[in-house]
Amino acid sequence: MIQAKVNGIGKAAMSDEPLLLFFNDSVKETEELKNHVIIQEISGEVPEFDLKKGSSISFDDQEYQVVHVGPVANRNLTDINHVAFVFTDVPTEDAILNGVYLTPQVVPTISVGTVITYK
């Protein structure tokens, strides 16, 4: 189990799109990008992520199941805490390479202080 805390939410991060982009705080250096992302901080040393189909992720008490993990998602989560959480069906072609597709297909309520638990 890995836990992270939401430390910031860009002005355009919570749009009508069924997609949430997460980064660590290094994204603050990129003015254009920081308005579209949610900043998460993993306390302590960042472990190797190994999300796979059947893993679960919770945002506070909102529980989700992983139905697909893009080929670069675990590496990007480990390196820069970057991931795209997607709340749609997995397309047969052109799935997001850094995407973690989740069910239920409802975007969670997130605020500064939200705890994300990767299981």
pTM over 0.85: yes
Compute CA 34 distance to the chain's CA centroid, rounded to the nearest angstrom: 14
Q: Where are the beta strands (DSSP E) in the chain?
A: 2-9, 19-23, 38-42, 56-59, 62-69, 83-86, 99-103, 115-118
The whole-number average pLDDT for the span 38-63 is 92
Instruction: Output the six-digit token pair for 20.
Output: 């949430």
Banded model confidence at residue 35, pLDDT cuts 50, 70, 90: confident
Quick one: pLDDT at residue 15? 85
Q: Where are the beta strands (DSSP E) in 30-104?
A: 38-42, 56-59, 62-69, 83-86, 99-103
Quick one: pLDDT at residue 13? 92
What does DSSP say about strands 38-42 and 2-9: parallel, antiparallel, or unpaired?
antiparallel
pLDDT tens, 57-97?
Answer: 999 999 999 999 999 999 999 988 899 999 999 999 999 99
